[in-house]
Structure 1
Amino acid sequence: MRDQKERVETIESTMKNEFEYALELNLITQEQYNNYLQELNELTSYIYEKYKDSLAFYDEDWIKINDYYEKIVALDFVRTRTKNNLELIWLIEM
């Protein structure tokens, strides 16, 4: 079983790649790209700071992560394989 930090790193990396892909294909604008990255960075920074000395997540943090996940999978430009990969990452410990 992977630890929480590794899961968050995988999510972060996956989404950065997806946003870059969408920008390269002009599926999103530079401004949207910047906004998506900012939101991702805010979430991951919060998690890294809060859990730098611990691996256990609290319920309210799972809610934040799940809300972000729900938002991402609802985006039209996110590829199906990325959505499937994110689902697998989320389901590992849920």
Structure 2
Amino acid sequence: MRDQKERIDRMERRLRNEFRHALAVNLITQELHDNYLQELNELTSYIYEKYKDSLAFYDEDWIKINDYYEKIIELDFVRSRTKEGLEDDWLIEM
């Protein structure tokens, strides 16, 4: 299993790029773009701070991450290749 922090970092980069692309091609407004980034920043900042000295995530935090992941892949503007990449990076390994 890949390091959890690496998975978080990869998804954050993918989503930032996806949000930037959606804004550039007018699929979302600047306000929506900013809201998506703020929500992403809140989640990743929480994870990075809570687990800065630890490798193992708690179940309740995996639930938060998975809920966010599920919300994002439901968005119409998220491209298929991004969804596939997110799945590779983030799906919780059982």
Shorter-chain TM-score bucket reads: over 0.9
Match of 1:60 in 2: 60
Q: Distance in 2 between matches of 1:92 and 1:43?
A: 16
Unpaired runs of 5+ residues, structure 2, are: none
1:26-46 deviation per Cα after TM superposition (whole angstroms, max 9, x unaligned) = 000000000000000000000
Amino acid at match of 1:17: N
Q: Distance in 1 between matches of 2:7 and 2:93?
A: 10
User: Per-residue deviation at 1:92?
Assistant: 6.5
Question: Residues 9-88 of structure 1 correspond to what in structure 2 (within 5 A)?
Answer: 9-88=9-88
TM-score by length of 2: 0.96
List structure 1 runs of 4+ shifted beyond 3 angstroms: none
User: Per-residue deviation at 1:2?
Assistant: 2.0
Amino acid at match of 1:87: E
1:2-34 deviation per Cα after TM superposition (whole angstroms, max 9, x unaligned) = 211111000100000000000000000000000
Q: Distance in 2 between matches of 1:53 and 1:2?
A: 17
Q: Distance in 2 between matches of 1:92 and 1:28?
A: 28
**Percent identity (aligned):** 77
Question: Number of residues paired by the alignment?
Answer: 94
Unpaired runs of 5+ residues, structure 1, are: none
Q: Distance in 1 between matches of 2:45 and 2:92?
A: 22
Q: Distance in 1 between matches of 2:92 and 2:34?
A: 29
Q: Distance in 2 between matches of 1:34 and 1:91?
A: 25
TM-score by length of 1: 0.96
How large is the RMSD of aligned CA atoms in angstroms? Answer: 1.0
